[in-house]
Structures are given as C-alpha cells and as structure tokens.
Structure 1
Amino acid sequence: MAGRPIDARGWVFEVLDMDATEETWLPISGVNTFTHNPGENEETVDTTVFDSDGMYEQDVMQRGASLGLEGLYYVDKATGERDPGQAYVDTVWANALGVDSRGMIRWRHKSQTQWVVWEATVTPGEQGGGNNDKTSWSASFTRCGAPSTLAVTP
C-alpha cells in the first residue's frame, strides 16, 4: 500500500520553560504555517582535485537547521493572558543573551511517537496587521548542536 501525505495542521510545537522548577513544556498556539530548513547554516569545503577528472567534489564541514513558525498572536479570551508558548518566546527567551540565549524547542506531528528536540536560539519575528486583519506572530529557531528525540508520553 502506498503512503499517504500528512496534514500540515497536525504539527505540534512546544518550548521548554527554563525557569520552571520542574520540566514544563509550553505549547505554542496560533501557528498556521511552519518551515523546517534542514540545510540552514550548512558549510562545505571544495575537495575537487586533478584526480576528480573535472567533476566537482565537496565535503560537508558543518550541519545546521532552522525552524520558522508563523501564525496569529494568541490571548486567552476569558483572562486576556498571552498564549504561554508565545509569551515565553517573546518575553523570556528572545531577551536572553550569551549562554542564556539557548533554549529548548520540540515538535512532532500528532501521528508520531517521538518528538524532535533541539537546543536552539530564537529570533522573534514581526508582529502586525491591517484594518481587517488579526495580529500576526512569528519566530525563527536556529538549531545549536545535534538534534535529539524524546518519546511522546501521555
């Protein structure tokens, strides 16, 4: 049987609250598009020599990746509180510098049994909107080091 494509809306994204006393992953709500670029920040070196007989050769010297999230700025209708994941990215993580600028993000599709986990830095994106728009929200995450996985637990 041939495989079937998965729905983009089934992806889940969470950030680790580094200030919490126990492990607390905060879901990022309001996402309506994402872009995973597994080749971001890749560096190569040309290894072409005379013995290559005119054919280009290279070695990868550095791997990198990025994840971009875009969507809508979310608040709780009843309390007016910001979405916990968006708020953490905007008010805690995005203001950190140096060694403190690294945090943790994980994501998976609802059909998967493992999270992809990254230590990463974050760059907050633009927010805005027009007269008949909802306010936008976005952030870009750049992986630091190798990715890991974590089993999904109930």
Structure 2
Amino acid sequence: MSPVTVVINKILLGWIAFGAGFAVAGGFIAFISLIGIVTRLAGITKTADHIPIYENSMAMGILLFNLLSLYQPVFSWIFPAAGYSIMYLSSLFTGIFAGCLAGALAEVVNIIPIFSRRVKLRKGFPYMVKAAALGKCIGCLIQFYLFNII
C-alpha cells in the first residue's frame, strides 16, 4: 500500500470510530439516564447542578475509549512508566464506574429484595452486599491475572 492509501485508511477509520462512538455514547447515556445513576450519584454527593457536565464527560469518555480500543496506542513514549500508570488509573476508574453501574442497575430492578425473599434471607443484608462486592473484585483480579493485563 502506498503511504497516501495508509493515511486515507487511517482517516476513514478515525471517522468511522468517531461516528460509532457517537452512536454508542448516545445509547449508553440514554441507558444511564434511564436508570438514574447520574442523578443518584449527584444527589448523594450534593452536586446536582453539575449533572450536564457529568453526562457530557461520560459521553466524551466513551468516545475516547472507543478510539483507544480501535487504534491501541502505546503510552510508553510519553515517559517510560506512563504506560502502566495510565493503565492502572484507567482500570481503577473503569472499575469504580462498573461497580456504580451494576449497583444502580441492581437497585432499579430490585434484585436484592427479590433474591432475599426467594432464599428466605432475614438477616445479613450487609454481608450479602459485601460478599457480592468482594466476589466481583476477586473475579476481576483473577481475570486480569489470567489474561496478563496486570
């Protein structure tokens, strides 16, 4: 392939990724707004006047990570330890977000009260929530360890 063709292909892929990012971000933001995770977290942190900033930040983050997953850049050229630092920091924030999303979704569908009635659980709600969080954490660590991400 000629260098011009390579550049045109990269520009075309960039536009496709950008358009796909807009579509994914729009659907995801609609889903997040529907289950009320942003308004719930903004109410808890008493920052309800910043909800549009939160939603725009989530949409831009989805677009950015869509481009990052498409092109898979190497961050070690910035400074030597940046690659792992960026990976660990983004993994931390992704885990926090996934945990909040899973908790909000479970709250919306009332999974914990339904489950506790089905198994006739009368005591130990805090232990059940802590066990679920610990299991999620251990499962993620095992997955990351097995796939050599960490």
Bin of the TM-score, shorter chain as denominator length: under 0.3
TM-score by length of 2: 0.25
Task: State the TM-score, normalized to the length of structure 1.
Answer: 0.24
The structure with the greater share of residues assigned to helix is 2
More strand by share: 1
